Each structure stands twice: as C-alpha cells, then as structure tokens.
Structure 1
Amino acid sequence: MFQVENYSGDRKEGYELVIMQLQALVDGETNQIANLANASALLNQFLHGINWVGFYLTEGEGLVLGPFQGLPACVRIPFGKGVCGTAASKRETVLVEDVHLFPGHIACDAASESEIVVPIIKNDALIGVLDIDSPIKNRFDEVDQHYLEQFIATLTRYL
C-alpha cells in the first residue's frame, strides 16, 4: 500500500485509488461500525501528516465518538460546538487551516494545528462526521476536501 502523498502519480490519482480500495473493503458488508473502522484505518494508513482520523456519530443533540485511529479523544460534542459540531450543524465540510483561530475549537489533542471535518448525510439524515486532525498548519486544501467528500459519498452507500 502507498501513502497518497508518496504515490508516484499525482495526488488526485492517489485519492482515486484510495476510494477504490475503500469500496473493495466495504463492498458486501452492512455493519456500520465495521465499515467506519476500516475506513478510518485506511485513511490513517494513506494520509501523511495527520495525528487523528475517525468518526463522530449523531446521537441526540450532538455527536458521540465512533471508530477512530489516534490518541484518546473527546467523547461527546454538541451540535454547533467546535469544528465537528459546526460541520454537523451546517451540514457542510469545514476546513480549518489553524485550529487556534477557530472560535470555540475543542482541543482534544494539543498537538493538532489544522483540521478538516466532512459531514456524513444519508437520505437527508445526518449520520455523523469524518474528522481528520493534523499537527501541521495548513495541512488540508481543496484537493483534500474534494476527494474526502468523494470518499464519504462512497462510504455512505454502505452505511
């Protein structure tokens, strides 16, 4: 396996291969936890410069920790709070170049400097969010956003 950024082709092609690998991993599996666990492990293996990748799932008036790779994390996040809660309440991807400048940022890992959160929506219902943190400022860009949204669109078909 390869890391997206170390792939000999361009980064976009690397992401496309990761999405194909995701589909192969989850095809035929209907268990949500198993599919989310494998998806987080796949992203953890392929993305460099990250310190946390995982899912928060909708529960009541907020999000609860789901499958992830990384250090222990915040267990519950209210809608509208922090980057995850904001992405969930707005139902749109939030890309943060410097988490210290994000109003109300929830610091689960002091090493995190940037973050991207992609909402997971199926049949107009918010299932949760994909959350990826990096110890590098400005780690994520529009290419990451585009392909992570495609990654989530593929995954959502199996949730």
Structure 2
Amino acid sequence: MQEINSIYPTDKKECYKLILAQLKSLLEDEPYVIPNLSNTSALLNGALTDINWVGFYLLHNNELLLGPFQGKTACVHIPIGKGVCGTAVQKDAIQLVKDVHEFPGHIACDSASRSEIVIPIHYNGQIVGVLDIDSPFIARFDSVDQEGLSELVNILEIACDWANVR
C-alpha cells in the first residue's frame, strides 16, 4: 500500500498548490462548516509532513471550542488570550511559534508538540475560529507554510456558510 504522503511534492510551495486544488474540489457546492473542516483537517494531516496535530477551534460563548481535528485528544475549551490559539484570537493575528516552550502561557495539550502555527478564520469581519497545527519539531513552520495556510483559510472563509455555525 502506498503511503499517502508520497503523493505530495516535497517542495512546500508545490505541495500547497496541490493541497489548495484538492481543497477547492472537496468544498465545491458544500457549504456546511463541520464536514468541510473535517475534510480539511484530514487533507492537511495526510499531506503535511512532520506534524502531530491539525484541526480547528470555533468561537463559541466567547471562548474557543474544539472542532474537527486529526491527532491525539485535545483541549476542549481555550479562553481568549490563553495559549497560542487564544492569543491568535485576542490579537487577530497569525501566530507562528518556532518553540512553544518559549511562548508565554502555552497550553500543552500534547507535550510532544514543539512548534505551532495558528491562523484566525473570519466571517463578516469577525473571528469565527482558528486553524491550529502542531509539530513535534522546533521551527517546523515558516513563511511558506504561513502563506499556504492563509490561502487555505481564505478558501474556507469563502466556501463555508459560517452564519449557521453559532
């Protein structure tokens, strides 16, 4: 049986091009958020190397609530302003953390995680959730990941019916 990672290019930019094309196909004529986030987390888990968790947290009752993901069990509730995800929401900014052990207030859901990237998701100018990806390697994520994942989140923002998530 062929390992799924082997179908993806080793060049990050090329890999993200393929991921984005696949995502657009998966989302075509499908507005529902939860199935779309489920498929997106599965797609990223199969395509990206050196990660140990990928998923989504959705804003609910002024906190982040665990959404669809791939990986070990995770924190269910994350307060705004706490950890990397909560900080991404509080600052409304991408968090690219080279070493999570140096991030003040990091929430260690999985002690094996060493680096993390979190991308806020918006609807009508408001944050509705975040994409969160962890790696067991220091400095796993870089500007190429940030660019590719930002484009991925932009596709989700447009394709999904976020009005019916709350």
Which TM-score band applies after superposition, normalised by the shorter structure? over 0.9
Give yes or no for the alignment of 1:62 onto 2:63. Answer: yes
Q: Secondary structure at the match of 1:157?
A: helix
For 2:96, the equivalent position in structure 1 comes to: 95
**2:76 aligned partner:** 75
Indicate which of 2, 6, 9 corresponds to 1:7.
9
| Runs of 5+ unmatched residues, structure 1 | none
* 2: CA distance, partners of 1:135 / 1:57: 24
- Distance in 2 separating the partners of 1:119 and 1:129: 4
- State the match for 1:31 in structure 2: 32
RMSD of Structure 2 on Structure 1 (CA): 1.6
Q: Tell me which residue corresponds to 1:49.
A: 50
Q: For 1:153, what is the secondary structure of its paired residue? A: helix
> Does the 8 Å CA contact 1:52/1:134 hold for their aligned counterparts?
yes
Q: Given that residues 55 and 70 in structure 2 are in contact (C-alpha distance below 8 angstroms), is that contact kept between their aligned partners in structure 1?
A: yes
What are the superposed Cα offsets for residues 82-101 of structure 1, whole Å, 9 maximum, x if unpaired?
00000011111100000000
Number of corresponding residues: 158
Q: Kindly state the Cα deviation for residue 17 of structure 1 after the two structures are TM-superposed.
A: 1.3
Matching of residue 20 in structure 1 with residue 21 in structure 2: yes
**Which runs of structure 1 show a deviation greater than 2 angstroms over 4 or more consecutive aligned residues?**
1-6
Partner in structure 2 of residue 154 of structure 1:
155
| TM-aligned CA deviation for residue 3 of structure 1 | 3.7
How far 1:32 sits from its partner (Å)? 0.6
- Corresponding residue of 1:117: 118
Give, in angstroms, the shift of residue 11 of structure 1: 2.0
Q: Any conservation in 2 of the 1:4–1:47 contact (CA below 8 Å)?
A: no
- TM-score, scaled to structure 2: 0.91
Offset of residue 144 of structure 1: 0.3
Give TM-score scaled by structure 1 length. Answer: 0.95
CA contact (8 A) 2:12 2:145 kept: no
Q: Secondary structure at the match of 2:159?
A: coil
- Per-residue deviation, 1:33: 0.3
Structure 2: where are the runs of 5+ without partners?
161-166
**Residue 5 of structure 1 contacts residue 11 of structure 1 at CA under 8 Å; is this kept in 2?**
no
